[in-house]
Structure 1
């Protein structure tokens, strides 16, 4: 799965204004800081069976902070660091990149676009729908994608996947939603300029 992942990365990097990004040291620090912040979060893995570990994602916050293009690139950097540190095998890098970073982050950003386009633009909509509920949906999508991949690769039977992986999903939904919801709330209140998808004119002015 490394080839489609590389194509997506090239697409993400293609139309970025790299000249402006390289000239903006604060933006660079924000991007790399967000990527590094995910590393300890992804290191906190738990699981009974090898290959069926679970961890919190934080990808919704990353998508809302950096946008889709830079979010994909920085999420890839986080995964690269995790793999270099030995928490994930290199043989699974392509799968982890596509199913663990690119697809869930893209899904999360798509949900944001839906809320921005079709829901009333209000601060609470941004925090609770684009942030809180979006994060719960995102970890659900990621978990089900990996469950499908494990079944397709015949690594474990459905019963094992259900008992040791999919069955844990309900326990992850609220903590993932709360983690991202709190992070987004703090960022919007104290560092709104860090949020690429948050605009005062849309969510605060004349509300």
Structure 2
């Protein structure tokens, strides 16, 4: 997607703007200004995301694959703050020529907002319906959650590219979705290991983890 901004790309900008404004976490600003440790944590999250998202394997324009790590981010910050944190790395990708400026809106919706929201939704389902145990939190809410999130992201991104008219569904399946199984275990491992380290060494950074819930069984 390049050149003149299409109606599809404008719709992406509009959708991203509306979702980010409507879901803006009011507690984020005061906490960010007041707590220096939190500032460092948020900025470190942005840097890690930018570096991780920069490592892409290109199939065709709009059909790049990369790890998300948004399951970890959502478990640590909640999906609203996770989506907000993902804005700066997305802008940096565009600034460094790794993402067309016209595609920023679509990228934010498909590769940031929806995966963050989905990851948090899956966590809430595990919290409500499964036993609250450390193993469940790490293996289901982080490991399996990460795998399922990237699988759905791949399907969603492929669907968006098909709706945009750039590629046929046959081409997307044969050249993009076929790579999905190769991403499941690495993405799951990335999130599972990150959350394991965080709950062991810095549990206060993981917003969704509470000792009384997961360590008192």
Residue 178 in 1 paired to residue 211 in 2?
no
Q: Is the 8 A contact 2:25 2:81 kept in 1?
A: no
Residue 84 of structure 1 and its aligned partner are, at CA, apart by 1.4
Q: How does 1:106-185 map to 2 (within 5 A)?
A: 106-185=117-196
User: Residues 68 and 153 from structure 1, CA distance in 2 versus in 1: closer, same or farther, beyond 3 angstroms?
Assistant: same
Q: Which of 66, 69, 74 is 2:80 aligned to?
A: 69
Q: Is the 8 A contact 1:12 1:72 kept in 2?
A: no
Which residue in 2 is equivalent to 1:42?
A: 53
Which residue in 1 is equivalent to 2:29?
A: 18
Q: Is the 8 A contact 1:16 1:69 kept in 2?
A: no
Which residue in 1 is equivalent to 2:199?
A: 188
Distance 1:56 1:151 in 2: 21
RMSD: 1.2
Distance 2:145 2:99 in 1: 26
Distance 1:33 1:11 in 2: 25
Flag structure 2 segments of 5+ consecutive residues without an equivalent.
Answer: 1-11
Which residue in 2 is equivalent to 1:96?
A: 107
Residue 14 of structure 1 and its aligned partner are, at CA, apart by 4.8
- Give the TM-score, by structure 2 length: 0.91
Flag structure 1 segments of 5+ consecutive residues without an equivalent.
Answer: none
Q: How many residues align?
A: 206
User: Residues 14 and 109 from structure 1, CA distance in 2 versus in 1: closer, same or farther, beyond 3 angstroms?
Assistant: closer
Residue 100 of structure 1 and its aligned partner are, at CA, apart by 0.8
Deviations 1:128-151 (A, max 9, x none): 100000001110111111111111
2:78 is paired with a residue whose SS is helix
Bigger Cα displacement from structure 2, 196-205 vs 11-20: 11-20
- Give the TM-score, by structure 1 length: 0.96
